[in-house]
A and B are shown apart, each in its own frame.
Chain A
Amino acid sequence: MVRFKHRYLLCELVSDDPRCRLTLEDRVLVGLIRDTIARVHGTFGAAACSIGFAGTIRTCQKFLIQYNRRQLLILLQNCTDEGEREAIQKSVAKSCLLEESSEEEGASDSGGEEAAEAMAS
Protein backbone atom coordinates (compact mmCIF):
# COMPACT_ATOMS: atom_id res chain seq x y z
CA MET A 1 0.00 0.00 0.00
CA VAL A 2 1.33 3.43 -0.90
CA ARG A 3 1.52 5.74 2.09
CA PHE A 4 2.08 9.46 2.35
CA LYS A 5 5.52 9.96 3.82
CA HIS A 6 6.64 13.12 5.52
CA ARG A 7 9.95 14.75 4.70
CA TYR A 8 11.55 17.43 6.83
CA LEU A 9 14.07 19.93 5.50
CA LEU A 10 16.17 21.93 7.93
CA CYS A 11 17.40 25.05 6.16
CA GLU A 12 19.48 28.07 7.04
CA LEU A 13 18.37 31.47 5.84
CA VAL A 14 21.29 33.47 4.47
CA SER A 15 20.84 37.18 3.96
CA ASP A 16 22.98 40.24 3.16
CA ASP A 17 21.18 42.34 5.73
CA PRO A 18 21.88 41.17 9.34
CA ARG A 19 18.89 43.11 10.69
CA CYS A 20 16.34 41.03 8.77
CA ARG A 21 16.78 38.16 11.24
CA LEU A 22 15.14 40.23 13.98
CA THR A 23 12.11 41.18 11.93
CA LEU A 24 11.49 37.78 10.35
CA GLU A 25 8.51 36.09 11.99
CA ASP A 26 7.12 32.59 11.80
CA ARG A 27 4.02 33.55 9.87
CA VAL A 28 5.95 35.79 7.47
CA LEU A 29 8.30 32.92 6.65
CA VAL A 30 5.42 30.49 6.08
CA GLY A 31 3.75 33.03 3.79
CA LEU A 32 6.96 33.60 1.83
CA ILE A 33 7.54 29.89 1.33
CA ARG A 34 3.94 29.35 0.21
CA ASP A 35 4.20 32.21 -2.29
CA THR A 36 7.42 30.82 -3.73
CA ILE A 37 5.93 27.33 -4.10
CA ALA A 38 2.87 28.87 -5.80
CA ARG A 39 5.12 30.76 -8.20
CA VAL A 40 7.39 27.84 -9.05
CA HIS A 41 4.85 24.98 -8.99
CA GLY A 42 1.61 26.83 -9.67
CA THR A 43 -1.85 26.14 -8.30
CA PHE A 44 -1.09 22.44 -8.13
CA GLY A 45 1.98 22.97 -5.95
CA ALA A 46 0.24 25.40 -3.61
CA ALA A 47 -2.57 22.91 -3.05
CA ALA A 48 -0.17 20.01 -2.53
CA CYS A 49 1.75 21.78 0.25
CA SER A 50 -1.17 23.40 2.03
CA ILE A 51 -2.04 20.35 4.16
CA GLY A 52 -0.04 20.11 7.39
CA PHE A 53 2.55 22.68 6.30
CA ALA A 54 2.52 24.75 9.49
CA GLY A 55 3.00 21.60 11.57
CA THR A 56 6.23 20.68 9.79
CA ILE A 57 7.78 24.07 10.55
CA ARG A 58 7.13 23.54 14.24
CA THR A 59 8.83 20.14 14.13
CA CYS A 60 11.88 21.67 12.40
CA GLN A 61 12.00 24.38 15.06
CA LYS A 62 11.97 21.78 17.83
CA PHE A 63 14.85 19.91 16.21
CA LEU A 64 16.81 23.14 15.77
CA ILE A 65 16.44 24.01 19.46
CA GLN A 66 17.82 20.61 20.48
CA TYR A 67 20.68 20.87 18.00
CA ASN A 68 21.70 24.36 19.16
CA ARG A 69 21.59 23.24 22.78
CA ARG A 70 23.99 20.38 22.03
CA GLN A 71 26.30 22.78 20.18
CA LEU A 72 26.35 25.07 23.23
CA LEU A 73 27.42 22.16 25.43
CA ILE A 74 30.24 21.28 23.04
CA LEU A 75 31.39 24.91 23.06
CA LEU A 76 31.30 24.92 26.85
CA GLN A 77 33.63 21.95 27.03
CA ASN A 78 36.04 23.45 24.51
CA CYS A 79 36.24 27.06 25.64
CA THR A 80 39.29 28.32 27.56
CA ASP A 81 38.39 31.89 28.58
CA GLU A 82 36.57 32.24 31.96
CA GLY A 83 34.30 35.07 30.80
CA GLU A 84 33.18 33.07 27.77
CA ARG A 85 32.57 30.06 30.00
CA GLU A 86 30.22 32.00 32.26
CA ALA A 87 28.32 33.45 29.32
CA ILE A 88 27.79 30.01 27.78
CA GLN A 89 26.76 28.52 31.11
CA LYS A 90 24.10 31.22 31.42
CA SER A 91 22.77 30.48 27.93
CA VAL A 92 22.63 26.76 28.65
CA ALA A 93 20.84 27.31 31.96
CA LYS A 94 18.31 29.59 30.22
CA SER A 95 17.65 27.02 27.50
CA CYS A 96 17.14 24.32 30.14
CA LEU A 97 14.55 26.45 31.93
CA LEU A 98 12.67 26.94 28.66
CA GLU A 99 12.92 23.21 28.00
CA GLU A 100 11.42 22.35 31.39
CA SER A 101 8.46 24.62 30.77
CA SER A 102 7.86 23.01 27.37
CA GLU A 103 8.18 19.55 28.96
CA GLU A 104 5.14 20.31 31.06
CA GLU A 105 3.26 20.65 27.79
CA GLY A 106 4.21 17.08 27.00
CA ALA A 107 7.40 17.19 24.82
CA SER A 108 9.94 14.58 25.84
CA ASP A 109 13.60 15.55 25.82
CA SER A 110 16.90 14.23 27.14
CA GLY A 111 18.78 17.52 26.67
CA GLY A 112 18.26 18.57 30.26
CA GLU A 113 20.30 15.67 31.65
CA GLU A 114 23.18 16.29 29.26
CA ALA A 115 23.24 19.97 30.20
CA ALA A 116 23.35 19.19 33.91
CA GLU A 117 26.32 16.83 33.41
CA ALA A 118 28.23 19.37 31.33
CA MET A 119 27.66 22.18 33.82
CA ALA A 120 28.95 20.05 36.68
CA SER A 121 32.23 19.29 34.84
Chain B
Amino acid sequence: MEFEESWSQRIMRIDPSDYHYMKVCLEFEEHGIGLNAAQFKQLLVSALQELFGEVGAALPFDVLTYEEKTLKAILRVCNSGFVKLWSSLTMLGSYKGNKCAFRVIQVSPFLLALSGNSRELVLD
Protein backbone atom coordinates (compact mmCIF):
# COMPACT_ATOMS: atom_id res chain seq x y z
CA MET B 1 0.00 0.00 0.00
CA GLU B 2 1.24 3.43 -0.81
CA PHE B 3 0.33 6.47 1.18
CA GLU B 4 0.12 9.72 -0.69
CA GLU B 5 2.00 12.45 1.00
CA SER B 6 -0.19 15.31 2.02
CA TRP B 7 0.59 18.45 3.81
CA SER B 8 -1.48 21.05 5.61
CA GLN B 9 -0.78 24.65 6.32
CA ARG B 10 -1.92 26.79 9.22
CA ILE B 11 -1.83 30.57 8.94
CA MET B 12 -1.58 32.65 12.13
CA ARG B 13 -2.42 36.36 12.10
CA ILE B 14 -0.01 38.45 14.15
CA ASP B 15 -1.98 41.70 14.13
CA PRO B 16 -5.65 41.07 14.89
CA SER B 17 -8.35 43.54 14.00
CA ASP B 18 -9.14 46.57 16.22
CA TYR B 19 -12.84 46.16 15.69
CA HIS B 20 -15.52 43.54 16.05
CA TYR B 21 -18.31 43.21 13.50
CA MET B 22 -21.79 42.00 14.43
CA LYS B 23 -24.61 40.92 12.18
CA VAL B 24 -27.82 41.51 14.11
CA CYS B 25 -31.53 41.36 13.48
CA LEU B 26 -34.25 43.24 15.36
CA GLU B 27 -37.42 41.25 15.95
CA PHE B 28 -40.68 42.78 17.10
CA GLU B 29 -43.44 40.84 18.78
CA GLU B 30 -45.97 42.55 16.52
CA HIS B 31 -45.52 42.86 12.79
CA GLY B 32 -45.60 46.06 10.82
CA ILE B 33 -43.29 48.24 12.89
CA GLY B 34 -40.58 49.94 10.88
CA LEU B 35 -37.53 52.01 11.73
CA ASN B 36 -35.31 54.04 9.50
CA ALA B 37 -31.53 54.00 9.88
CA ALA B 38 -31.40 57.03 12.18
CA GLN B 39 -34.08 55.63 14.47
CA PHE B 40 -32.24 52.31 14.54
CA LYS B 41 -28.99 53.95 15.63
CA GLN B 42 -30.87 56.00 18.22
CA LEU B 43 -32.37 52.79 19.58
CA LEU B 44 -28.90 51.30 20.03
CA VAL B 45 -27.60 54.44 21.73
CA SER B 46 -30.54 54.45 24.13
CA ALA B 47 -29.96 50.76 24.91
CA LEU B 48 -26.35 51.57 25.81
CA GLN B 49 -27.48 54.55 27.88
CA GLU B 50 -29.97 52.41 29.80
CA LEU B 51 -27.41 49.88 30.89
CA PHE B 52 -24.17 51.85 30.98
CA GLY B 53 -25.25 55.47 31.42
CA GLU B 54 -23.78 58.54 29.75
CA VAL B 55 -20.40 56.85 29.45
CA GLY B 56 -21.97 53.91 27.62
CA ALA B 57 -24.01 56.17 25.33
CA ALA B 58 -20.77 57.83 24.21
CA LEU B 59 -19.33 54.48 23.06
CA PRO B 60 -18.41 54.89 19.39
CA PHE B 61 -19.94 52.28 17.11
CA ASP B 62 -21.06 52.29 13.48
CA VAL B 63 -24.06 50.87 11.64
CA LEU B 64 -22.34 49.77 8.46
CA THR B 65 -25.41 48.41 6.69
CA TYR B 66 -29.09 48.48 7.54
CA GLU B 67 -32.03 46.89 5.76
CA GLU B 68 -35.31 48.53 6.70
CA LYS B 69 -37.45 45.66 5.38
CA THR B 70 -35.77 42.83 7.28
CA LEU B 71 -34.47 44.99 10.17
CA LYS B 72 -31.04 43.42 9.77
CA ALA B 73 -27.86 45.39 10.31
CA ILE B 74 -24.10 45.01 10.45
CA LEU B 75 -22.51 46.89 13.33
CA ARG B 76 -18.89 47.74 13.96
CA VAL B 77 -17.53 48.45 17.43
CA CYS B 78 -14.04 48.76 18.90
CA ASN B 79 -12.81 45.77 20.86
CA SER B 80 -12.97 47.57 24.20
CA GLY B 81 -16.67 48.32 23.77
CA PHE B 82 -17.71 44.98 22.28
CA VAL B 83 -18.96 43.39 25.51
CA LYS B 84 -20.84 46.57 26.46
CA LEU B 85 -22.61 46.77 23.10
CA TRP B 86 -23.57 43.09 23.04
CA SER B 87 -24.87 43.16 26.60
CA SER B 88 -26.90 46.31 25.84
CA LEU B 89 -28.47 44.56 22.84
CA THR B 90 -29.30 41.61 25.08
CA MET B 91 -31.02 43.76 27.70
CA LEU B 92 -33.11 45.81 25.26
CA GLY B 93 -36.75 44.82 25.63
CA SER B 94 -38.93 47.41 23.96
CA TYR B 95 -39.08 50.27 21.49
CA LYS B 96 -41.80 52.93 21.96
CA GLY B 97 -43.87 50.50 23.97
CA ASN B 98 -43.54 47.65 21.47
CA LYS B 99 -41.83 44.52 22.70
CA CYS B 100 -38.78 43.59 20.71
CA ALA B 101 -35.56 41.62 20.91
CA PHE B 102 -32.21 41.65 19.17
CA ARG B 103 -30.99 38.43 17.59
CA VAL B 104 -27.21 38.32 17.15
CA ILE B 105 -26.71 36.23 14.03
CA GLN B 106 -22.96 36.39 13.59
CA VAL B 107 -19.94 37.99 15.19
CA SER B 108 -16.39 38.23 13.87
CA PRO B 109 -13.28 40.39 14.13
CA PHE B 110 -13.19 40.38 10.34
CA LEU B 111 -15.87 41.85 8.12
CA LEU B 112 -15.25 39.34 5.36
CA ALA B 113 -16.33 36.50 7.64
CA LEU B 114 -19.85 37.96 7.81
CA SER B 115 -20.33 37.40 4.09
CA GLY B 116 -20.78 33.68 4.64
CA ASN B 117 -22.60 31.96 7.44
CA SER B 118 -22.59 28.18 7.56
CA ARG B 119 -25.58 28.24 9.92
CA GLU B 120 -27.74 29.66 7.18
CA LEU B 121 -26.90 26.84 4.78
CA VAL B 122 -29.83 24.56 4.07
CA LEU B 123 -29.44 20.93 3.23
CA ASP B 124 -31.48 19.82 0.23
How many residue pairs, one in A and one in B, have C-beta atoms under 8 Å apart? Answer: 31
User: Whole-angstrom distance between the alpha carbons of A41 and B53 in the complex?
Assistant: 4
State the main secondary structure of chain B at its contact with A. helix
**B-side contacts of A37, CB under 8 Å:** 53
**A-side contacts of B49, CB under 8 Å:** 42
Q: Does A121 contact B (CB under 8 A)?
A: no
User: Whole-angstrom distance between the alpha carbons of A37 and B52 in the complex?
Assistant: 10
State the main secondary structure of chain A at its contact with B. helix
A-B contact pairs, 17 of them (CB 8 A): A37-B53, A38-B53, A39-B53, A39-B54, A40-B53, A40-B54, A41-B53, A42-B48, A42-B49, A42-B52, A42-B54, A42-B55, A43-B50, A43-B51, A43-B52, A43-B53, A44-B51
Q: Does B56 contact A (CB under 8 A)?
A: yes
**A-side contacts of B55, CB under 8 Å:** 40-42
A32 CB to closest chain B CB (Å) equals 15
For window 43-94 of B, CB contacts with A under 8 Å fall at 48-56
Q: Does A31 contact B (CB under 8 A)?
A: no
**B-side contacts of A45, CB under 8 Å:** 52-53
A-side interface residues, number (CB < 8 Å): 9
User: Whole-angstrom distance between the alpha carbons of A43 and B55 in the complex?
Assistant: 12
B46 CB to closest chain A CB (Å) equals 11
**B-side contacts of A44, CB under 8 Å:** 51-53, 56
**A-side contacts of B54, CB under 8 Å:** 39-42
**B-side contacts of A39, CB under 8 Å:** 53-54
Known: A39-B53, A39-B54. 9 other contacts (CB 8 A): A41-B55, A42-B48, A42-B49, A42-B53, A42-B54, A42-B55, A42-B56, A44-B51, A45-B52
Query: Which among A41, A43, A44 has the highest number of chain B CB atoms within 10 Å?
Result: A44
A39 CB to closest chain B CB (Å) equals 6
Contact with B along A33-64 (1 / 0, CB 8 A): 00001111111110000000000000000000
User: Whole-angstrom distance between the alpha carbons of A45 and B56 in the complex?
Assistant: 10
User: Whole-angstrom distance between the alpha carbons of A44 and B48 in the complex?
Assistant: 10
Complex: chain B residue closest to A43, CB-CB: B51
User: Whole-angstrom distance between the alpha carbons of A38 and B53 in the complex?
Assistant: 7
B68 CB to closest chain A CB (Å) equals 29
The 4 tightest CB contacts between A and B, nearest first, are A42-B53, A41-B53, A42-B52, A40-B53
